[in-house]
Amino acid sequence: MISAATGDVREKCRQDLDTAERALSDQLSESDKVAVLDQISRRGQKFSDAKAEYDSLDKQQRKVQELVLDGEASFARDEFARFCGSNRYRLEPMNIANALAGLPFIGWRQSITRCKKHPSTHGEGQSIQIFRTIERIVGSCVRRSDLAGHAEKYLRDKKTKKSLGATVLRNKWYYLRWSIQTVLDAEPRVSTRNLPFAITREYWKRIKQPSNVAALFEEGERIVI
């Protein structure tokens, strides 16, 4: 492998050669000119040898690095395949992240074990928190037909005041209300199990492409607690 010393030797030889070449001048006497040319030749050879050694080591290092990267990639692929085949953590995004975090330096089981000891303070972003909130609203609703009303009561509950997902949905209540209604009216009927996913999809569709009417009325329908 290339050491710092090898690079330093090459650089020193290059500088010595530059010094000798700058010393060459038409103003020199014949004897001095011969002495300078001799130094240029000697230093040029040293630089050539140092550069050849450096280039050889650099080539070897690149080959080793490629082998290491190929090995790491192969190990990571195999470990991820084993993780997916385990069926133990597939549906949990945080467990997937924990399993991949240590690859390719440790296996997925060890990676999960270590990462669980250091829980993320930002484990769930805004999008997943919005989905979780919608999921909880659907799960706590007794009558499907009253889902929109139940959602409004849920979001007005002061217990949800510190929830990021609930806070966003309170500000975007106009879009959530219409998303719920659209999904409930959909044909064929969306199963209760799939309601959180369908409502969330409809919500994001409306948020990303709001109509002029929605932009006009959304502020007036915000839920304030």
* Residue 153 sits in the same domain as residue 75: no
Whether the pLDDT of residue 99 is over 60: the answer is yes
pLDDT tens by residue, 153-203: 999 999 999 999 999 999 999 999 999 999 999 999 999 999 999 999 999
Judge whether 214 lies within some domain: yes
**CA dist., res. 118 & res. 107, Å (int):** 17
Please tell me the least confidently modeled range out of 46-55, 104-113, 118-127, 178-187. 118-127
Please tell me whether residue 111 adopts helix, strand or coil conformation: helix
- pLDDT tier, 3 (very low <50, low <70, confident <90, very high otherwise): low
Judge whether 70 lies within some domain: yes
The dihedral built from the CA positions of residue 159, 174, 131 and 197, taken in this order, carries a sign that is positive
Judge whether 113 lies within some domain: no
Please tell me whether residue 3 adopts helix, strand or coil conformation: coil
Close Cβ partners of 51 (under 8 Å, ≥ 6 residues apart): 10, 13, 14
Judge whether 99 lies within some domain: no
Domain of 71, in residue numbers? 4-86
What letter does residue 191 receive in the DSSP assignment?
Answer: P
Close Cβ partners of 108 (under 8 Å, ≥ 6 residues apart): 79, 80, 82, 83, 99, 100, 102
pTM, rounded to two decimals: 0.52
Residue 206: phi and psi, rounded to 5, are: -70, -35
- pLDDT tier, 91 (very low <50, low <70, confident <90, very high otherwise): low
* Residue 210 sits in the same domain as residue 131: yes
Convert 24-76 into a string of H (helix), E (strand) and C (coil): CCCCCCHHHHHHHHHHHHHHHHHHHHHHHHHHHHHHHHHHHHHHHHHHHHHHH
Amino acid at 25: S
CA atoms within 13 Å, Cβ hemisphere of 58: 10
Judge whether 48 lies within some domain: yes
Q: Given this model, what pLDDT does residue 116 score?
A: 83
pLDDT tens by residue, 14-57: 999 999 999 998 889 999 999 999 999 999 999 999 999 999 98
Among 25, 56, 86, identify where a domain stops: 86
Among 57, 86, 115, identify where a domain stops: 86
What letter does residue 6 receive in the DSSP assignment?
Answer: H
